[in-house]
């Protein structure tokens, strides 16, 4: 599944295309998508394909198409403080975006079948925390990944506010998973009542059935217990929140200029491919056609026209890197250096 929107030249242009096609509809979801660069979750030799609206698979590593993830994020209706379980968490791309919305008091767990993919997700998460300025712009709920079969989750695990499973589930597991072969939103409306809403026609590979041990018993997957934050960690969260509030107040009063930006160039319009998609789900066939507006082959200039006889230089057209105001504020506080590094989560950047 994929190919519903044109490819982007970078992460922002991909998000622009998803917004234009109404796959991304809310500001919260848009912010999360822009904050996590999809290319960072690709292997280096495949990064040129990161901004296409296509799924990617290499060995056990798999990423769904951006249009699928955007529909998932919108359907989950995420809010700060909720608990989230990602069944088949893969690279951790979706879990990282979810964590930006859940905030420091949410719960963010993932179960992945393949140990090598779990390790890959942990490496990508570490890279995001160490290098991305988005970590400082948001209050992040760090995902925890465990290896195992999601059909063998221990019965004593906590229930979650939101659960996502990106795979097909056999009928005998419906009561266990409450999932179908289509991307579906299921909401509990009572102790034994459920409301089901079909979100998007899509075909997922079925879940891998758990093997049996020699003893005949399955290997239970134990999810992390609810974490209780230390007073020191709570103080760090509170101080960072207070600094962010001060930055916003200063920006509103004009005391600080905010992140440095330049006039945004209008994106090149790319011809939408007229495509027909046929998806086989169970014994039904769903066909959809996505048509596109006409091509505008020109590359438009900046929003503000340059004065006659004056051409913008390459340096003027190139956006300056954004300023991490939180980091600058913390480094300017009259505090011991070890405490500053603690407030910045010991991030080098």
Q: Which residues are catalytic?
A: 64
Is 106 in contact with 84 (CB distance < 8 Å)?
Answer: yes
Q: Which two tokens stand for residue 118?
A: 């779990």
CA distance 179 to 198: 11
Spatial CB neighbours of 245, under 8 Å, sequence gap ≥ 6:
none
Helices (H), the chain: 11-20, 27-35, 66-76, 93-102, 115-131, 134-137, 174-177, 231-253, 314-317, 325-331, 337-343
Q: Which two tokens stand for residue 7?
A: 């490819």
Is 316 in contact with 262 (CB distance < 8 Å)?
Answer: yes
Buried b (16+ CB within 10 A) or exposed e, 185-195: beeeeeeeeee
231: left (phi over 0), alpha (psi -120 to 50) or beta: alpha
Is 35 in contact with 138 (CB distance < 8 Å)?
Answer: yes
Task: Kindly report the number of other CB atoms within 10 A of residue 308's CB atom.
Answer: 5
Torsion of CA 347, 109, 90, 278, to 10 degrees: -130
Spatial CB neighbours of 70, under 8 Å, sequence gap ≥ 6:
18, 23, 24, 29, 33
The DSSP code for 205 is P
Q: Radius of gyration (Cα) for the chain, nearest Å? A: 23
């Amino acid at each position: 599944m994929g190919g519903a929107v044109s490819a982007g030249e970078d992460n922002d242009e991909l998000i622009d295309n998803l917004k234009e096609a109404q796959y991304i509809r809310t500001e919260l979801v848009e912010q999360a998508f822009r904050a996590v660069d999809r290319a960072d979750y690709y292997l280096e030799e495949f990064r040129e394909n990161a901004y296409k609206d296509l799924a990617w698979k290499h060995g056990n590593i798999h990423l769904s198409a951006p249009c699928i993830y955007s529909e998932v994020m919108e359907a989950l209706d995420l809010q700060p403080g909720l608990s989230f379980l990602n069944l088949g968490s893969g690279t951790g791309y979706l879990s990282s975006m979810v964590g930006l919305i859940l905030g420091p008091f949410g719960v963010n767990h993932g179960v992945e079948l393949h140990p090598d993919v779990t390790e890959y997700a942990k490496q990508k998460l570490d890279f995001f925390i160490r290098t991305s300025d988005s970590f400082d712009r948001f209050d992040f709920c760090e995902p925890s990944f465990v290896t195992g079969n999601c059909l063998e989750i221990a019965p004593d695990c906590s229930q979650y506010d939101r659960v996502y499973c990106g795979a097909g589930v056999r009928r005998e597991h419906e009561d266990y998973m409450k999932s179908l072969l289509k991307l579906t939103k299921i909401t509990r409306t009572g102790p034994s009542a459920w409301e089901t809403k079909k979100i998007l026609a899509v075909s997922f590979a079925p879940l891998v059935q758990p093997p049996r041990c020699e003893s005949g018993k399955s290997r239970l997957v134990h999810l992390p217990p609810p974490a209780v934050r230390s007073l020191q960690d709570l103080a760090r969260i509170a101080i960072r929140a207070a600094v962010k509030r001060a930055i916003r107040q200063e920006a509103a009063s004009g005391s600080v200029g905010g992140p440095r930006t330049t006039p945004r160039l209008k994106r090149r319009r790319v011809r939408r491919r007229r495509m027909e998609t046929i998806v086989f789900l169970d014994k039904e066939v769903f066909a959809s056609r996505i048509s596109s507006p006409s091509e505008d082959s020109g590359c438009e200039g900046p929003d503000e026209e340059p004065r006659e006889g004056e051409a913008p230089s390459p340096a003027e057209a190139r956006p300056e890197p954004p300023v991490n105001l939180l980091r600058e504020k913390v480094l300017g506080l009259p505090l011991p250096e070890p405490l500053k590094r603690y407030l910045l989560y010991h991030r080098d950047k």
